[in-house]
Structure 1
Amino acid sequence: MKSISNYLDFLKEKGTPLSEINPGSSEIALTVSDALQALALLQDNQTAILGADVLSEDENGKLAYAIHLWGYDYHYLNWYCDKNDNESKEDYLQRSYVLAREGIANANKTAEKLKKKCYLVFVTE
């Protein structure tokens, strides 16, 4: 198992802080390709992905939540993954990674269809 510090270092190096749109926020947005790399780091560290928010760029190139830019019809692109009562930790971890891969793919597919950029902010345990 690798250290979570690898993931945190990756966020600092590759991510875009959301403090500009959410003052005081420590969240960091990643491009789709970087989100996939971050997923691998989290998986190596056995850290669950609790969910994610999808963002895009507004007409000025600033990050904003995708539902505010693309419309609330796209709220389903944000996802979450709660642990089920009788689910083992290992099963939960694996399910969180599967849902994250699916969520990234769905957000990216929608962004491409809309000819928009896509960013993701992971929520981790």
Structure 2
Amino acid sequence: MYTVYVGSNPYFGLGRDPLKSPEDIISFTKADAWNKQMYGNTRILVPMDSRCTASPTGTEDYVFYKEGGLSWTVPYIAGLYALTCQVKPDITPEIFWREALDTTDTISLGSGNQEELSRIINPTRLLEKIEKIK
């Protein structure tokens, strides 16, 4: 059994432009919580902000949260780990993190901006890579 928790591995949360598709990598930005800081390029980045979820106000309601928190990244990582376990049941956390890092993407932040966000998790590439090492 492997437990994922905030701080369990070198990952951090991404922001997202809410008017762009979450399927498009260029919709991602620095998270609101650390938008003013320089990105140190040391952590894998996973989606955190701009989420629509079931609402606590009713069974047919939804709510949009512009700003998330690191606790919102934990289910994402746990779900992705579960998917890799379906592809390779004997995968270890060490292999998962190594291959997750090896299959990340990089984007530039805005036009004319020299800053890049690298190490953005790419679930499709990760699962394809795990399939090859099966």
Q: Output the TM-score relative to the length of structure 1.
A: 0.28
Q: Output the TM-score relative to the length of structure 2.
A: 0.27
Structure ID, larger Rg = 2
Structure number having the greater helix percentage: 1
